[in-house]
């Protein structure tokens, strides 16, 4: 189907470049806020994440962790080696020489990547 059928209003939009620029900036700002917005985890979800982590630690299973910190969202894959309640960190083996320390407070999502 021609674009004219599905986008007749996009084709005929009358917008000054300065207006378009402002909207672009606004959309970027929205995207940025969404990227940095921390999801609210209820008690049940927190418990679930804790269970996944402890199980993976016990069975040496690979997990996927999404962390949110000042650099934005990052996805990390690795096998948990240790949980350090004193420093509030999770040590992960990611295949590098040194294990990676992840702040538990930054974790917003956690899931098993190994079946079972």
Partner 1 sequence: MQTLVRITGDRLIMRPKVIFLADMESFYASVETSCNPSLRGKPVAVCGDPALRHGIILAASREAKAFGIKTGQPAWEARRLCPWVIFVHPRMQTYIDYSLHLTRIFEQFTDRVLPYSVDEQFLDLTGLENILGSPQKLAADINRRVWKETGIRCRIGMGENPLQAKMACDCFAKKCPNAFFELNGANYACRTWNLPVSSLFGVGHRMESNFHRIGVRTIGHLAGLPREMLRRRWGINGEVLWLNAHGIDYSTVEPASIHEQKGVGHTATLPRDYRKQEEIELVLLEMSEEVCRRARRQGKIGTTVHLFCRGADFDSPTGFSRQKKLPEATALVMDIYPTVLDLFRKHWDRKPLRAVGISLTGLTAYRQLQLKFSRHCEQEENLTRAVDQVRKRFGKASIFRASSLTSGAQFFQRAKMIGGHDS
Residues that bind partner 1 (CB under 8 A): 1-2, 4-10, 12-24, 26-27, 30
We find the least distance from the C-beta atom of residue 71 to partner 1, in angstroms, to be 23
Neighbouring CB atoms inside 10 A of 55's CB total: 13
User: Residue 106 gets which letter from DSSP?
Assistant: G
We find the least distance from the C-beta atom of residue 28 to partner 1, in angstroms, to be 10
Does residue 22 sit in helix, strand or coil?
helix
Residue closer to partner 1, measured from CB, 9 or 115:
9
Residue closer to partner 1, measured from CB, 39 or 116:
39
We find the least distance from the C-beta atom of residue 109 to partner 1, in angstroms, to be 22
Strand order in the sheet with 107-112: 100-103, 89-93, 72-84, 63-69, 107-112
- Whose CA is closest to 108, among 12, 52, 56, 41? 41
Residue closer to partner 1, measured from CB, 9 or 58:
9
């Amino acid at each position: 189907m021609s674009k004219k059928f599905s986008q007749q209003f996009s084709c005929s939009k009358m917008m000054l470049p300065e207006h378009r620029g402002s909207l672009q900036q606004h959309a970027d700002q929205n995207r940025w806020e969404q990227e940095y917005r921390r999801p609210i985890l209820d008690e049940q979800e927190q418990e679930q994440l804790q269970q996944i982590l402890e199980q993976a630690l016990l069975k040496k299973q690979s997990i996927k962790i999404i962390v949110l910190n000042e650099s934005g969202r990052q996805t990390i894959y690795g096998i948990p080696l240790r949980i350090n309640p004193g420093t509030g960190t999770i040590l992960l083996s990611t295949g590098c020489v040194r294990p990676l320390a992840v702040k538990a407070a930054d974790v917003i999502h956690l899931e098993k990547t190994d079946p079972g």
